[in-house]
Amino acid sequence: MSKSKDMRILIPAEEVHAEWTKDPAFRAEYDALEDEFAMMSAPIKARNAAGLTQGEVAERMHTTQPAVARLEGQAHRASLRTIKSYAQATGHKVVIRLERVVGKG
């Protein structure tokens, strides 16, 4: 029985993303997720700005490091109460703002 080599070609994610964003349908869907991407990155940026580990944030929130990891991975699904607790633990505050879309409503 002969062993065959795995001949996968690895393409950097940046290249794949650049190619996909040329497709108008992909671009429209990607742009529609902008708020979710921002919501997901905000907690990690806050924690990094505070110079804290997930474990340290967990201690301040009276929870566990895996719970903080889950929150950072799914912040767009977290309750406002949880987001406020995370913000306080990292020395931040939550600001919610609705902006009128020009030409709508």
- The domains of the chain, with CATH numbers, are 18-89 (1.10.260)
**Angle at 100 (CA atoms; ends 96, 105), nearest 5 degrees:** 130
pLDDT one-digit tens code per residue, 46-104:
999 999 999 999 999 999 999 999 999 988 788 999 999 999 999 999 999 988 988 86
Sign of torsion, CA 43 44 49 54? positive
Q: For 43, how many CA atoms within 13 A lie in the half-sphere containing its CB?
A: 27
Are the C-beta atoms of 40 and 76 separated by less than 8 Å?
yes
Does pTM surpass 0.85? no
